[in-house]
Amino acid sequence: MAKAKEIAMLGEPLGAKEAYRIGLVNKVAPPEEFMEEAMTTAEELSKRSAKAIEAVKKISLIAPQLDKSSALDLELVFLPSYSRDRRERYT
C-alpha cells in the first residue's frame, strides 16, 4: 500500500511491467490480447459464487481500516454464508 501511495502522490508514470512486478496489478497483456484476457478472467469469475465474490469485495474494502481483531470478527460475519454457498456449489 505504501508504494501505491508513493506512486499516486508523485504522479510519475508507471509501466505495466513495473506495476506487475510490485504487485499493483495481477496480469499484464499486450494490447492485442487485452480483451481476450479480460474475457477469460470474466468467464472464470462468472463460474464463481456471486455471494462469495460479494463477500470478498466487502471484506476487501472494510478490513484494511480495522485492527486485526476486528478484521477477523468481520470475516466471521461473512464466512458462514460463504462456506454454505461453497458447499452447495460442490454437492
Q: Specify the long-range contacts of residues 81-90, CB closer than 8 Å, at least 24 apart.
A: 81/51, 81/55, 82/49, 82/51, 82/52, 82/55, 85/49, 85/51, 85/52, 86/49, 86/52, 89/49
Specify the pLDDT at position 90.
Answer: 45
Average pLDDT (12-17) is 90
pLDDT tens digit string along 29-80? 999 999 999 999 999 999 988 888 888 888 888 888 888 888 778 777 776 6
Cβ–Cβ contacts within 10 Å for residue 90, how many? 5
Give the length of the chain: 91
pTM of the model: 0.57
Grid cell at residue 17: 511491467
pLDDT of residue 84 exceeding 60, the answer is no
Higher-confidence position of 56 and 9: 9
